[in-house]
Amino acid sequence: MLQPFLCFFCLGEDGMFISVFRIWSTKMPNFSDLLSVFSVEQLKDISCKWVILGHSERRHVIGEDDQFIGKKAAYTLSQGLGVIACIGELLKEREEGKTFDVCFQQLKAFADAVPSWDNVVISYEPVWAIGTGKVASPQQAQEVHVAVHYWLKKNVSAEVASKTRIIYGGSVNGGKCAGLAKEEDIDGFLVGGASLKFVSSQPLGLICMLGLTLFYASEYTMSLACEMNS
């Protein structure tokens, strides 16, 4: 379950995990990191387990490139957190028949940067489906997932291809996931907007969200105050 604001709550085998997607690429932020919010070290402090990287908002709104995303992935893994590696094409790219090329290029950037795929989940998120209500058809998603598995087998290893989970994101909700879930290569979902309804209906989710918001707001205020006093 992935909230678009401060942090996300992911349901895993052992329960609910925290995940975020605005991280610095190193321990101390450099200029390129200024539009991100968290250091990986902060996330470890709050027992965060996952970082979402390569999300369309970071690629197409903030302007993060493949190399920078790869750098963040490598640093995240080096600190013991897992990476949800997002890939996906724009509508124009799909219409031009470039879906696989775009996804493979984004995958290669992750492959070039990460030392191991043990703690990586790939999320196929067609940009035209994110937050639009236009979910990819099971066939559209399945063919990309199959291609991603094949790419991993050819370019990384058969073992990584068989072990790496590939989830789908883009306007998924309880009603729309049933058909997608039947496809053999779709291993789960990255849920954005629909998770807001879930968390807002869960007392624990609301308390966590409020607590973390207050915590980081006070940290930020303190750091601003320190800067002004120095």
Ligand X SMILES: O=C[C@H](O)COP(=O)(O)O
Catalytic residues: 55, 125
Does position 177 interact with ligand X (CB under 6 A)? The reply is no
Q: Which of 69, 136, 190, 209 binds ligand X (CB under 6 A)?
A: 190
Residue 98 token pair: 């470039």
Residue 2 CB, nearest approach to ligand X (Å): 5
**CB-nearer residue toward ligand X: 70 or 192:** 192
Mark the segment that binds ligand X (CB under 6 A) among 66-74, 97-105, 139-147, 165-173.
165-173
Please report, in angstroms and rounded to a whole number, the separation of the first and last CA atoms in the chain. 41
Contacts of 29 (CB under 8 A, 6+ apart): 36, 39
Residue 48 token pair: 């965060």
Residue 201 CB, nearest approach to ligand X (Å): 16
Does position 39 interact with ligand X (CB under 6 A)? The reply is no
Q: Which of 51, 148, 191, 209 binds ligand X (CB under 6 A)?
A: 191
Pairwise CA distance, residues 71 & 200, whole Å: 34
Q: Helices 99-113 and 66-78, interaxial angle, to 10°?
A: 40
Does position 169 interact with ligand X (CB under 6 A)? The reply is yes
Q: Is 182 exposed, middle or buried (0-12, 13-18, 19+ CB in 10 A)?
A: exposed
Residue 97 token pair: 């028949």
Residue 43 CB, nearest approach to ligand X (Å): 17
List Cα–Cα distances, 5 to 57, 80, 208, 212, in angstroms. 12, 23, 13, 11
Binding mask 98-137 for ligand X (x = CB under 6 A): ---------------------------x----xx------
**CB-nearer residue toward ligand X: 146 or 196:** 196
Q: Which residues bind ligand X (CB under 6 A)?
A: 2, 4, 125, 130-131, 169-172, 190-194
